[in-house]
Amino acid sequence: MTTHPNPYRLGVLAGDGIGPEIVPVSVRIVDAALDAVGAAGIEWLPLPLGRAAIDEFGSPLPDGTLRTLAELDGWLLGPHDSAAYPQPHRSRLNPSGTIRKHFDLFANIRPAKAFEAAKAIVPGTDLVIVRENTQGFYADRNTHTGTGEFMPTPDVAIAHGIFTREAVERIAHVAFDLARRRRNKVTIVHKANVLQLTSGLFRDVCRQVAEQYPEVAVDDQHIDAMTVHLLRRADEFDVIVTENMFGDILSDLTGEIAGSLGIAPAINASHERAMAQAAHGAAPDIAGRDLANPVAMILSSAMLLDWLGTRHSDDALRRAARLVESGVARTIRRGIATADIGGSATTSGFGTAVTEAIASGEIRG
Ligand code: ATP
């Protein structure tokens, strides 16, 4: 039993672009949900990250931010617009890549779920991409030091991919455990017909792990064919496990298939820590105009609540997570939605509607 009024401390890193619009909205909604289920509140710790941190501390991810994160078991990370950073920051591993690598957040869980009232390319889509987050073909984060990309001459560039049995096994277990709590289906996505050793190892190790889950149906698909299957029949897939780069690309696609990248949530997790981070980027084209869809960030925050609730066996947190999800779904059903999914609500207006729906007591988690 804890006597502390705020047993959980979570970091808040607003980031760049639309981050300062969608992250505070998510914090307010989480607070409203915790209040509604009678759970202890969260102590939020705002931490510098991104362009503002470069201006103030000379780094998009100051050492103080990393040190504080090490004391926490969760945080919300807004998007960063690292492509727009001044040099030398632009050439370095970006802040979220650095955080994922530093804390070994090996599992990137990216659901894509269509809302009834929002336009979806494939209505009924309800799947989860489980993306291996530490190695694979993203060479910038798969080495101990250095970036895994190098240029022997100005006209030659080389990158390498890395796959280890250990890393594939642990991500495969995440996928199969998740499938057992869903519809008992896993699809392994790879390119083993061309990259026979690397992608082949990924497929084969996932298949071996599958033998420990006889109740879960398993199949595998080539990444290129998978894009077609998803466009035509995303509603038939349940859990998809894949490597780092394929998962990044595929999850933008599934987010859009489910309605919009703006509704695609995610967490990055290890067994000890989790980071809520929407699948989308900083969307500089719409930043600062109260136009961004906050749903992805809000639902990422709900995923973090759920993860924390499971880790600490705290059912109130899990109920708060369900309440946030129901609040979002109900608000969209009432026709309140941002422009990317066919509505006319602002970011802040949508957030207020969800907060009020939760606080009104009309919905249950
Ligand atoms: P990154 O590489 O950092 O993930 P990106 O280059 O994939 O970023 P995004 O910033 O995700 O690009 O934006 C892609 C498109 O989706 C843009 O047109 C952007 O406006 C739109 N978009 C992204 N997020 C949202 C959102 N939350 N609400 C509405 N539109 C969004």
**Interval 1-50: pLDDT, tens:** 344 456 799 999 999 999 999 999 999 999 999 999 988 889 999 999 99
- 138 flagged as catalytic: yes
The pLDDT value given to residue 6? 63
- 224 flagged as catalytic: yes
In ligand 1, the atom with minimum distance to the C-alpha of 248 is: 4
pLDDT beneath 70, residues of the chain: 1-6, 117, 364-365
- Is ligand 1 within 6 A of the CB of residue 293? yes
The pLDDT value given to residue 1? 39
> CA end-to-end span of the chain, whole Å?
24
For the chain, give every residue range classified as CATH 3.40.718.10: 1-104+267-365, 120-258
CATH 3.30.70.100 for domain 120-258: no
Where helices occur in 234-345 by DSSP H, the ranges are 244-257, 295-311, 315-333
- Rounded CA separation 124/249 (Å): 21
The pLDDT value given to residue 4? 44
- 248 flagged as catalytic: yes
- Rounded CA separation 46/11 (Å): 6
Count of Cβ atoms closer than 10 Å to residue 94 Cβ: 20
Write down the CATH number for the domain with range 1-104+267-365. 3.40.718.10
- Rounded CA separation 183/196 (Å): 30
Residues 131-153 as b or e (16 or more Cβ within 10 Å = b): bbbbbbbbbbbbeeeebbeeeee
- 73 flagged as catalytic: no
The pLDDT value given to residue 149? 86
Whole-number percent of the chain with pLDDT over 70: 97
For atom 1 of ligand 1, the residue with the nearest CA is: 281
The pLDDT value given to residue 365? 63
- For 273, the token pair is 């820590």
- Rounded CA separation 172/166 (Å): 10
351 contact partners, CB below 8 Å, separation of at least 6:
25, 26, 28, 29, 294, 298
Count of Cβ atoms closer than 10 Å to residue 8 Cβ: 22
Determine the number of helices (DSSP H) and then strands (DSSP E) in the chain: 11, 12
- Is ligand 1 within 6 A of the CB of residue 280? yes
